[in-house]
Structure 1
Amino acid sequence: MKKIYIIHTSLVSHQELQQLFKEIIPEAELFNIVDDSLLHDVKTHGSVNPKITGRVCDYVRAAERNGADLIFSQCSSVGKAMDLAKQLVHVPVVKVDEAMAEKAVALGQRIGVVATVKSTMAPSSDLVRDKAREAGKEVEVVEYLVDGALDILMKENNREKHNELVLASIKKAEEECDVIVLAQGSMTVLLPLLGEIKKPVLTSPRLGVEKARKVLMGE
């Protein structure tokens, strides 16, 4: 049985990812490495630093030593650290938002990135630009930061307020962009509210797990 290790920086999307992996790759065995201090430290520092990167590298190497066939990164904010970490191992590393960025580039030229954590905005926007360069396409990334909304969801447990704030930014992005990317996996809670949005709105968890299957199974 193939082993997948998921590296989490919070538990906000833990349950959803477990369900998606069981649905999409039921033949794989799942293991989780959770360090919620990573996201705290990234938010405090504003971006990844050498200490954070070192810890991410340690977790990736530990997963490989424990027999991982694939390592899945749950957090967009540590994307840059994960890019370095994956060079240290011989098993594939898939970031949750890679497939979303690839699809966004395929769908439009003016791409709106909506984020609820400041530290996620730069790596998410840069990932879209990286995927555009790989595709040989010029894109314009427009950033919409709903700063503090994730804390409202996680710490205050106020989903209604979180959704109201983020939905306002999505509607603004709809007016200005061809396609909208929701940078945090936690933003999937908004999916039932997006019926009136006419532009494509992409979220990462399902697309990320589908990409993991393709990589793991060589599809």
Structure 2
Amino acid sequence: MTDPTAPGLVLLHTSAAHVPVFDALRDRNHPGAVLRHLVVPELLDRARVEGPKAVAPALREVLTGAGAGAGAGAGVAAGAGRGSGAVLVTCSTIGAIAEALAPVLGAPVLRVDRPMAAAAVGTGARIVVLATVESTLAPTAELLAEEAGGRPVSIRTHLVAGAWERFAAGDAAGSLERVAAAADAVTGADAIVLAQVSMAGAAELARTRIPVLSSPAAGLAEGLRQVAAS
């Protein structure tokens, strides 16, 4: 039974489908760790239409529990108040905006794809980014360039046609098959980055010899490390 007063990691999702993914990773790799999930699909819905920067005010409300976001945001604020020490944002589209709001929360805010990006640029200079939502491409490419730290890096992006529509319709397997096929079609790359949490399962389906990197496992590990350090 989870101790409601125990230090834990708050995870901010824009899809409820991500909750079991991280719970399974916790059970397998971090038994006993406390995860507190917050699901706010509206953040991604708006970011896809108006751009990631447009969700900054709403995201701030979620993180602080203010205004219209009080019901959802109170979960984050309460979690942090119990010694959470960190928030892991699992939506790559809004990750950069969330990180910039860390001072508002008074605790670390980590985007789930940052550890993956660091691993990608450490693998080589030629990186292909695959995404199923167009709004994720630019934030992921910018993160990779940031993690490269001035080193020359070639970043190519590709939107996997039809994969998001299948995921949204509940056909996760069909979505992953399309992503895996897109990964297998990549040539001339040192690493392939799966930009979204929902794509992670495609890494096991792909047959390419190019390393295929996903974000959930490394992101969760870093989030829990920050909790332990806080």
Is 1:12 equivalent to 2:28 in the alignment? no
Correspondent of 2:44 among 8, 18, 39:
39
Question: Letter of the aligned partner of 2:38 in structure 1?
Answer: I
Pairing 1:177–2:189 present: yes
Match of 1:120 in 2: 136
- Answering whether residue 61 of structure 2 is matched by residue 58 of structure 1, we say yes
- Note if 1:199 corresponds to 2:210: yes
**1:64–1:91 CA contact under 8 A, matched in 2:** no
- CA distance 1:7–1:159, change in 2 (3 Å): closer
Corresponding residue number in structure 2 for 1:145: 159
- Whether the 8 Å contact between 1:70 and 1:94 is mirrored in structure 2 is yes
**Length-normalised TM-score, structure 1:** 0.88
Tell me the CA shift for residue 94 of structure 1: 1.4
Q: Please, which of 126, 131, 148 is the counterpart of residue 110 of structure 1? A: 126
For residue 147 of structure 1, report the CA deviation from its aligned partner: 4.0
- In 2, the alpha carbon distance for the partners of 1:147 and 1:117 equals 9
Q: Whole-Å Cα distance in 1 between the matches of residues 179 and 32 of structure 2?
A: 36
On the 8 A contact 1:115/1:147 being kept in 2, the answer is no
User: 1:160 Cα shift?
Assistant: 4.6
Give, in angstroms, the shift of residue 70 of structure 1. 1.3
Partner of 2:100: 84
Alpha-carbon distance in structure 2 between the residues aligned to 1:19 and 1:26: 10
Structure-1 separation of matches of 2:103 and 2:188: 37
CA 1:163/1:36 → structure 2, altered by over 3 Å: closer, same or farther?
Answer: same
- The offset of 1:79, in angstroms, is 1.5
Answer yes or no: is the 8 Å Cα contact 2:177–2:202 preserved in 1: no
Residue 61 of structure 1 and its aligned partner are, at CA, apart by 2.2
Secondary structure at the aligned position of 2:10 is classed as: strand
Deviation at 1:100, TM superposition (A): 0.2
Whole-angstrom distance in 1 between the partners of 2:59 and 2:134: 20
Deviation at 1:78, TM superposition (A): 0.6
Q: Secondary structure at the match of 2:201?
A: helix
RMSD: 2.0
In 1, Cα distance between equivalents of 2:162 and 2:46? 15
Q: Distance in 1 between matches of 2:107 and 2:123?
A: 30
Give the equivalent residue in structure 2 for 1:214. Answer: 225
What displacement does 1:65 show? 4.8
Q: Which residue of 2 aligns with 1:130?
A: 146
